């Protein structure tokens, strides 16, 4: 069976991708330090607990499992935290990636799919963002991801590394079969925060900015289902295995939804009251960020399966309800 190393495979998008890899006939091997990942999310292959910055662990993994490619998710991803602790982000996101690339070079592994982000674009002037949009990140998180993209290009020129960067927009939803889902601590993503209000775990949801130049005054983002992101990683891997040239692709639906539309969808899906509260805009938040996913459709034959907002929110709601039920059963069992 073809073995793929998945760094950060115990995290949100990484765990969904491991499921997609297994379904496609691959054997995922997860390397994760479990700082933000979850042991319970590793269900489709072995877990090696360790840090990507540790050369000895990397050598052990490559020697024992001999992966033919790497899917690299391991990174810190809190934008606000990156502003206050830039060194943490450059050490983890950039230095760790260099350590991984050096290990790949030592062990003759030449194919890499990298988890990048739309944060590399910063505050673009155009509403629809394609791969030609200038990259002008405005925070250390975005800069760290862009640095890794540039480093991969250098390794490609020097050592023949073949790579794909997948720049995704707002990951959302959960595995429709409820085997894995979103569980961040702290949680910063809009949809799970809104659903926590629906569950009564939060009193309200703050809407940062109600005076944007958008139809309802709230910021517009492109929400792409996590299962669709997972399939994109598998298709990018097969693109490289088929001889595809090193590239970067934007992943999104190609249409945006406002914060208010997210709240409205959650009300429809859950049938619950969801209280909102207006708050000032956050610095660096553009009014409108939407992907042009045309290049990924052409090169990878990637097209999102989840195109409707209510369907995306419904999978997240089912996951949150399951987690709540599991917590209730655990509480009753320990009483």
Give the per-residue pLDDT at 80: 86
Give the per-residue pLDDT at 333: 44
Residue whose C-alpha is closest to residue 201's, from 81, 321, 310, 37: 321
Give the per-residue pLDDT at 332: 42
- DSSP states of 168-224 as a string? E-EEE---TTSSS----SS---HHHHHHHHHTTSSS-EEEE-S-SSSTTSS-EE-EE
18-35 b/e (C-beta count within 10 Å ≥ 16 → b) = bbbbbeeebbbbbbbbee
Task: State the DSSP code for 293.
Answer: -
Active site residue 141: yes
Q: Are 302 and 293 in contact (CB under 8 A)?
A: yes
Strand partners, 163: 112
Strand order across the beta sheet in which 128-129 lies: 128-129, 288-291, 220-221, 257-258
Give the per-residue pLDDT at 323: 78
Cα distances from 235 to residues 8, 127, 160, 175, 301, in angstroms, run 19, 27, 21, 18, 8
Between β-strands 223-225 and 276-279, what pairing exists: parallel, antiparallel or unpaired? unpaired
Between β-strands 220-221 and 288-291, what pairing exists: parallel, antiparallel or unpaired? parallel
Give the per-residue pLDDT at 335: 33
Give the per-residue pLDDT at 329: 53
Bond into 284 cis (ω within 30): no
State the catalytic residue, choosing from 26, 76, 141, 168. Answer: 141
Give the per-residue pLDDT at 125: 83
What is the rounded distance in angstroms from the CA atom of residue 213 to the CA atom of residue 285? 13
Residue whose C-alpha is closest to residue 286's, from 316, 254, 258: 258
Q: Are 25 and 45 in contact (CB under 8 A)?
A: no
Helix (H, G, I), strand (E, B) or coil at 1: coil
Task: State the DSSP code for 92.
Answer: I
Number of C-alpha atoms within 13 angstroms, CB side, residue 107?
25
Helix (H, G, I), strand (E, B) or coil at 50: coil
What is the rounded distance in angstroms from the CA atom of residue 72 to the CA atom of residue 5? 8
Q: For 229-246, what is each residue's pLDDT tens digit?
A: 999 999 999 999 999 999
Q: For 70-125, what is each residue's pLDDT tens digit?
A: 999 999 998 889 999 999 999 999 999 999 999 999 999 999 999 999 999 998 88
Each of the 335 residues of the chain gets a pLDDT tens digit; together they read: 799 999 999 999 999 999 999 999 999 999 999 999 999 999 999 999 999 999 999 999 999 999 999 999 999 998 889 999 999 999 999 999 999 999 999 999 999 999 999 999 998 888 799 999 999 999 999 999 999 999 999 999 999 999 999 999 999 999 999 999 998 888 889 999 999 999 999 999 999 999 999 999 999 999 999 999 999 999 999 999 999 999 999 999 999 999 999 999 999 999 999 999 999 988 778 888 999 999 999 999 999 999 999 999 999 999 999 877 776 555 544 33
Give the per-residue pLDDT at 24: 98
């Amino acid at each position: 069976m073809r073995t793929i190393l998945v760094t950060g495979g115990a995290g949100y998008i990484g765990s969904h991708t491991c499921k997609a890899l297994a379904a496609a006939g691959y054997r995922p091997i997860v390397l994760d330090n479990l700082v933000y990942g979850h042991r319970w999310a590793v269900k489709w292959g072995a877990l090696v607990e360790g840090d990507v910055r540790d050369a000895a662990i990397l050598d052990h993994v490559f020697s024992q499992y001999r992966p033919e490619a790497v899917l690299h998710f391991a990174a810190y991803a809190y934008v606000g935290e990156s502003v206050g602790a830039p060194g943490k982000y450059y050490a983890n996101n950039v230095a760790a990636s260099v350590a991984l690339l050096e290990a790949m070079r030592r062990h003759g592994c030449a194919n890499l799919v990298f988890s990048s982000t739309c944060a590399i674009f910063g505050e673009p002037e155009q509403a629809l963002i394609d791969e030609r949009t200038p990259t002008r990140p405005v925070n250390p998180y975005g800069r760290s991801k862009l640095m890794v993209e540039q480093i991969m290009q250098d390794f490609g020129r020097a050592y023949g590394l073949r790579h794909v960067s997948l720049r995704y927009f707002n990951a959302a939803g959960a595995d429709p079969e409820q085997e894995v889902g979103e569980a961040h601590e702290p949680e910063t993503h809009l949809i799970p925060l809104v659903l926590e209000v629906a569950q009564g775990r939060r009193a309200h949801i703050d809407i940062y900015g109600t005076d944007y130049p958008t139809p309802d005054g709230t910021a517009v983002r492109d929400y792409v289902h996590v299962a669709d992101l997972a399939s994109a990683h598998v298709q990018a891997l097969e693109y490289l295995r088929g001889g595809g040239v090193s590239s970067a692709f934007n992943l999104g639906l190609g249409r945006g939804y406002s914060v208010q539309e997210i709240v409205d969808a959650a009300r429809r899906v859950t049938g619950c009251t969801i209280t909102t509260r207006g708050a000032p805009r956050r610095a660096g938040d553009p009014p409108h960020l939407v992907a042009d996913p045309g290049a990924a459709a052409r090169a990878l034959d990637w097209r999102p399966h989840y195109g409707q907002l209510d369907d995306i929110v419904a999978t997240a709601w089912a996951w949150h309800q399951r987690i709540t039920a599991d917590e209730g059963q655990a509480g009753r069992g320990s009483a």
